[in-house]
Structure 1
Amino acid sequence: MTPGATSKDPLVDAFLRHLRLERRLSPRTLDAYERDLRDMAAWMQEHGREWLNLNQAEVRAWTAQRHRQGLSARSLQRRLAALRAFYHYLKREGRIQRNPAMGVRAPKVERKLPSTLDVDQMAQLLELPGNKPLDLRDQAMMELLYSSGLRLAELVSLDMSDLDLSDAMLEVTGKGRKTRRLPVGSKARIAIQRWLEIRQELAEENEPALFVSQRGKRLSPRAVQSRLARRAMEQGAPRRVHPHMLRHSFASHMLESSGDLRAVQELLGHADISTTQIYTHLDFQHLAQVYDQAHPRARRKKPD
């Protein structure tokens, strides 16, 4: 659903308008809310229910039915979160007294550890050959993704005005339109400076984007994904590489070196520290491997 579109449901439309105008959520996030609420609306229509008279038992029944139909635990969690947010809004507006989605839990999600590259693999990946404009642009993008732990959307939304190389700082607009200032490492500064020296060869006049395509316009997320996958293949990466893998690698390496979970949370722009804590599992996994290989009481005896 694009901004300004309607779902033909006055309550849902008002909620989405609130998310767009007051919470300033992205069109993609609004689409997800609309899809999840539309699924609940379809279930209610089948059972002759309406938003304002739904109860907790019925929310549980909807959750159980969707689970039996094969919906994953992660998808159910997301839909319940959307439903809770919707009813929280209706309660705030005085339309209901109780939130029927509160207390309803989806099955637990088995947490999957993010894929990362180790330090040596990252170093190999970032040794890009070539001095053509696209070579220098790709080098700068990849260095910046790893240097500052950027999300893909944050990278492509960067403007020239967001960058201060003299102070080695970058202002980033993340989820929920929240801004944060991030340091830019020395390798990334050098790569960006080289790109800026020839950027005008590609960029259209008055184009504010830091990274542009051959046509001179702001790069799309898909173009960045494609370029990174191609570069990784050329550099002999051990697996398919995507932009978020560089962010995961940044977080893992920072936490492994510093042990400062709060600092890594700030750098990543995570609202909840539990999101950042997944990287402690990666770090522990690494430490466990080192222990198994190095400790005399941990090493398995060789078979006779």
Structure 2
Amino acid sequence: MWIDERKIQNQSEHTLDAYFRDVSGFIDFCYNKKLELHNVEKADLREYMAYKVEQNQLSTSSLQRHLTSIRQFMKWATQGNYLAFNPAHDLQLKRQPRPLPGLIDIETINQIIDQVAPEKPVEHQLWLRDRAILELLYSSGLRLAEIQGLTIRDIDFGRHLLRVTGKGNKTRIVPFGGKARESLIEWLKIYRIWQGDFKADFPVFITQRGNVITPRQIENRVKLQAQRAGVNVDLHPHLLRHCFASHMLSNSGDLRAVQEMLGHSNLTTTQIYTHIDFDHLAQVYDRAHPRASKSKN
């Protein structure tokens, strides 16, 4: 019943599975302590959080997800009169500062994406697919799951737009650049060889056998192409998304637009990228603020 409520809130199956594991772990903890659910207090919840950290060395974000799962479960139990009150209602974890995402410069990205194609026919075809993946990850800031789930009907070549299904099954429209368009067209020529035909609901990125490419395969191919380009960077799809966001924000200063393109529901999430270019901010300030001009004396 609790799972059904989460589905109504448009949670993905992966998220639902995680919530189920979190709640099951807490119930097991209570069972081992011979603690009835209706007797659970805040102190018990804090003990459970400490226990999870000790056992699993969880990150702050994972610990927060555990607490959110338990809070939602107890909210459901309270609404169903299984509990008199929700002891997790106002329990908060001490938030740790979010680490700034690692970045690589545009020259390094160009070195990877513009590298010479392999000469062997099969490797050349794989490279055309991988280059299209790299272009879209950097051109549009897509998440790994978003690029893996992209279908033929999601591409609007005429307007250079993608329809992307992100977290919580939310759909957004994002632009892609001219170089990404060229790479997609070259890849789709190979796609026809591998797949034989196009259908609207077919995945854009497939294996040589015509199956949809898996997230792990995408990660491995991204790393491989960075290595082949001679770049000493642990390249992964999310790093390219970080670079997209930082470079866009650095050149445009439009936080709201970057938020829309990334699919962030909260502007605070996007603001992690505002650290990127203080020199640029200073230049904007000097040009724009009426009292910013320095004395010539």
Counterpart selection for 2:269 from 272, 275, 287: 275
- In the TM superposition, 1:244-263 aligns within 5 A as 244-263=238-257
Counterpart selection for 2:102 from 115, 123, 127: 115
- Equivalent-residue separation in structure 2 for 1:93 and 1:41 (angstroms): 17
1:247-272 Cα distance to aligned partner (Å, 9 max, x none):
00000101111112111111101112
Counterpart selection for 2:185 from 180, 190, 193: 193
Q: CA deviation at 1:52?
A: 3.9
SS of the aligned residue for 1:170 comes to strand
C-alpha RMSD over aligned residues? 2.3
Counterpart selection for 2:71 from 84, 89, 93: 84
2:130 aligned with 1:144: no
**TM-score, length-scaled by structure 1:** 0.82
Q: Determine if contact 1:52/1:95 at 8 Å carries over to the other structure.
A: yes
- Equivalent-residue separation in structure 2 for 1:52 and 1:204 (angstroms): 60
Unaligned runs of 5+ in 2: 119-123, 283-297
2:32 aligned with 1:56: no
- Equivalent-residue separation in structure 2 for 1:269 and 1:107 (angstroms): 26
- Equivalent-residue separation in structure 1 for 2:54 and 2:218 (angstroms): 38
Q: Determine if contact 1:113/1:282 at 8 Å carries over to the other structure.
A: no
Letter in 1 for 2:137: L
Counterpart selection for 2:17 from 28, 31, 44: 31
Aligned to 1:178: 170
- How has the CA–CA distance of structure 1 residues 209 and 73 changed in structure 2, closer, same or farther, with 3 Å as cutoff? closer
Identical columns (%): 41
Greater alpha carbon shift after TM alignment, 63-72 vs 212-221: 63-72
- Equivalent-residue separation in structure 2 for 1:218 and 1:70 (angstroms): 33
Q: Determine if contact 1:171/1:182 at 8 Å carries over to the other structure.
A: yes
- Equivalent-residue separation in structure 2 for 1:101 and 1:54 (angstroms): 9
Q: Provide the aligned length of Structure 1 versus Structure 2.
A: 274
Q: Determine if contact 1:162/1:170 at 8 Å carries over to the other structure.
A: yes
- Equivalent-residue separation in structure 2 for 1:168 and 1:210 (angstroms): 15
Q: Determine if contact 2:38/2:84 at 8 Å carries over to the other structure.
A: no
Greater alpha carbon shift after TM alignment, 202-211 vs 138-147: 202-211
Letter in 2 for 1:186: G
- Equivalent-residue separation in structure 2 for 1:98 and 1:54 (angstroms): 10
1:274-295 Cα distance to aligned partner (Å, 9 max, x none):
211111124449979xxxxxxx
Q: CA deviation at 1:197?
A: 2.5
Letter in 2 for 1:216: G
- How has the CA–CA distance of structure 1 residues 63 and 135 changed in structure 2, closer, same or farther, with 3 Å as cutoff? closer
**TM-score, length-scaled by structure 2:** 0.84
Letter in 2 for 1:234: R
Letter in 2 for 1:256: S
- Equivalent-residue separation in structure 2 for 1:73 and 1:214 (angstroms): 38
